[in-house]
Amino acid sequence: MDDNNALVENAGATYSQDFSLNTLNILTAAGQKFEMRRLLIEFSFYEDLYSFCVSGHLTLKDGQGFIESLQLQGNEFIEVDFGKIKDGSNDTTSIYRLYKVGDRVATGNLNVEFYTLYFCSEELLISEQKKISKSLSGQTISQSISKILKEDLGVKKAYIEETSGVYNLVVPSLKPFETISWLSTYARPAITGAFGADMLFFETKYGYNFRSIQSMMRQSIYATYKYQQTNLPDEIETFQESTISVLNYEFVKTYDQLDDINSGTFANSVLSLDTLARTANLTKFDYNKYKTNANVKALDSNGALTPSQNRFGQTQNQTFESKFKLMTSNSGQTKASYIKQQPGSVAKDIAIENYVPNRTAQLSLANYIVVKLTIPGDPGITVGRTIDFSLMTIKPTLNEREPDKFYSGKYLVTAVRHIIQSEGIYQTVLEIAKDSLASKPNSVDSSSPDWKKVIAD
């Protein structure tokens, strides 16, 4: 394809990596609009489940001095509309803030420059420009966050999942996004009956979200992606099949026991001190008890922990001291007569004993297995969706290849990067993660002489 035609004239999707870049404009503070599609070398758009805002960059080949004539100084916006098919239902026009110009590199003839423009949601800049110091009384965390988004950031489009528990909190001079991050640690999802504390705040191309990992895991599957033979004849591989073919994959993490131990994935403990009531509580998180709770939903049906023991006879879910936290609490004040007899002296219980040990484990469990996939470009896929990854075993067999019995199955999309290149290529890079396995791990034979010898040594 001709570079310019690939970006401007694509009216439909014939191949799996086709795309439409209907709009790519720079809007200046002076009210000028400049189309940048014909200068584009690469456009990248990022979403991350653990990041507040979407962001991206565009690399340009400039032979007309746009960077000088536009006088780019950080007061500009970028208008973007990309999709799979021109004027298709997936297309959405969004406006973001240009905040940085990368390195400017000249070519040998001095007539062309290459440079990269970086953009993000304007709310990120607004959040960096102000502080919040106020009381949030008699509200759920979801109500408080909804209020901050509307009043302090001017956000009009957001999906806020309901949380349990009413809190009286004072925001101690924090930036809006810092405040939301702080509040998120207290939030317990209503969908699980206030069990656990896995609420996350993030943005997709469709708007802001405040959701629990548990609710995302319960969604229906967006699509099933297969790693299979490519470049098949047209009569064998249809267009629909090619769009769900995984171009390549990489296991970023399969298991890391040291990380699991240090992060408290399977066992952790919290000592909560109520200094006014002079009480202390030690709360232990046990993964085996957690996964059998009726409110817990895993992506696959089998837990990730094997029952192997260390030389002291402890399984990994019994080593509670591996991750220890000391926190202040107010859970004992309702029982202390010398405190509760004073009107208004007892604050609402902030439930540290519930949310701290569970959140510690849940955030780690959500990334127990991490895989990076490259697929044909799909503008409809966002972080927070679930997909099915059909990975075939590479184990030699005489029969038809079967799915990998541990790592196939349902995954949560935790990061997305859309890449559009001037050569007419559109790919989406996904980072997907899961907390469980498709099949039950092998059991441990503690009576085996060899195993006993290993433990003893």
DSSP code string of 399-412 = S---B-TTT-EEEE
Determine the Cα–Cα distance for residues 456 and 312; give it in Å rounded to an integer. 9
Low-confidence stretches of the chain (pLDDT < 70) are: 1-19, 85-91, 108, 228-242, 338-347, 396-399, 444-447, 450-457
Question: How far are the Cα atoms of 259, 281, 321, 356 from residue 326, in angstroms, in the given order?
Answer: 20, 10, 12, 10
Determine the Cα–Cα distance for residues 73 and 67; give it in Å rounded to an integer. 10
pLDDT of residue 90: 45
Q: Are 121 and 97 in contact (CB under 8 A)?
A: yes
Q: Which helix (H) or strand (E) holds 170?
A: strand 167-174
pLDDT of residue 1: 33
User: DSSP 3-state assignment of 126?
Assistant: helix
Instruction: Write the CB contacts of 25 (distance below 8 Å, at least 6 apart in sequence).
Output: 33, 34, 35, 36, 78, 79
- The position carrying tokens 């035609």 is 5
pLDDT of residue 369: 94
State residue 74 phi and psi, 5-degree precision. Answer: 95, 5
Question: How far are the Cα atoms of 177, 306, 316 from residue 284, in angstroms, in the given order?
Answer: 31, 19, 13
Secondary structure of 268-331 in HEC code, one letter for each residue: EEEEEEECCCCEEEEEEEEHHHHHCCCCCCCCCCECCCCCCECCCCCEHHHCHHHCEEEEECCC
Taking Cα atoms as reference points, which of 80, 70, 163 lies closest to residue 115? Answer: 70
CATH class of 220-254+366-434: mainly beta
CA angle 414, 434, 287 (to 5 degrees): 125
Determine the Cα–Cα distance for residues 274 and 328; give it in Å rounded to an integer. 6
pLDDT of residue 100: 92
Q: Are 210 and 145 in contact (CB under 8 A)?
A: yes
Task: Tally Cβ neighbours within 10 Å of residue 15.
Answer: 14
pLDDT of residue 345: 65
Q: How far out from the chain centre does Cα 39 lie?
A: 31
Q: Are 199 and 186 in contact (CB under 8 A)?
A: no
Span(s) in the chain for CATH 2.40.30.150 = 220-254+366-434
Span(s) in the chain for CATH 2.40.10.10 = 3-126
pLDDT of residue 85: 63
Span(s) in the chain for CATH 3.55.50 = 128-214
Beta strands 188-189 and 221-226, pairing class: unpaired
CA angle 360, 431, 267 (to 5 degrees): 20
State residue 56 phi and psi, 5-degree precision. Answer: 175, -175
Q: Are 147 and 137 in contact (CB under 8 A)?
A: no
Q: Which helix (H) or strand (E) holds 7?
A: helix 3-8
Q: How far out from the chain centre does Cα 220 lie?
A: 17
Domain 128-214, CATH number (from 3.55.50, 2.60.60, 3.60.70, 3.30.70): 3.55.50
pLDDT of residue 150: 96
CATH class of 3-126: mainly beta
pLDDT tens across 239-292, in order?
556 677 889 999 999 888 899 999 999 999 999 998 888 889 999 999 999 999
User: DSSP 3-state assignment of 10?
Assistant: coil
